[in-house]
Amino acid sequence: MTGVETISLGNTAFEGLNNAYLLDGAVTTLVDTGVATPETREGLHDGLAARGLSVEDVEQVLLTHWHADHAGLAGEVQAASGAVVRVHRADAPLVAQDPDALAAMAERQRDLLAAWGMPESSQEELLGFLDGESTIAGDPPEVEPFEAGATVEAGDRELTAVHLPGHTEGLCGFASPSDYRAPSGATGAELFSGDALLPYYTPNVGGADVRVERPLERYLDTLSSIVDAGYARAWPGHRGPIVDPAGRAADIVAHHRERTDRVLGVLAEHGPADAWTVSAHLFGELRSIHILHGPGEAYAHLEHLEAAGVVENTPEGYVVADREADLDALFPGIAGADGHPDPSA
Report if residue 36 sits inside a domain.
yes
Confirm if 343 and 333 have CB atoms less than 8 A apart: yes
pLDDT score of 15 more than 80? no
Report if residue 311 sits inside a domain.
no
pLDDT tens for each residue of 128-183: 988 877 789 999 999 999 999 999 999 999 999 999 999 999 999 999 988 877 77
pLDDT score of 1 more than 60? no
pLDDT confidence band for 330 (50 / 70 / 90): very high
- Amino acid, res. 151: T
Report if residue 285 sits inside a domain.
no
DSSP 190-246: EEEEETSS-SSSPPP-SSS-TT-SSHHHHHHHHHHHHHHHT-SEEEESBSS-BS-HH
Half-sphere exposure of 254 (CA within 13 A, CB side): 14
Q: Report pLDDT for 125.
A: 94
Domain ranges, residue 77: 4-95+134-248
pLDDT score of 102 more than 70? yes
Report if residue 274 sits inside a domain.
no
Report if residue 122 sits inside a domain.
no
Report if residue 190 sits inside a domain.
yes
pLDDT score of 194 more than 80? yes
- Residue 50 sits in a domain whose CATH number is 3.60.15.10
Report if residue 123 sits inside a domain.
no
pLDDT score of 16 more than 80? no
Report if residue 119 sits inside a domain.
no
pTM of the model: 0.93
Give me the number of domains the chain comprises: 1
pLDDT tens for each residue of 48-63: 999 999 999 999 999 9
Q: Report pLDDT for 14.
A: 55
pLDDT score of 248 more than 50? yes
- Amino acid, res. 270: H
Task: Tally the residues of the chain.
Answer: 345
pLDDT score of 345 more than 60? no
Q: Report pLDDT for 336.
A: 38
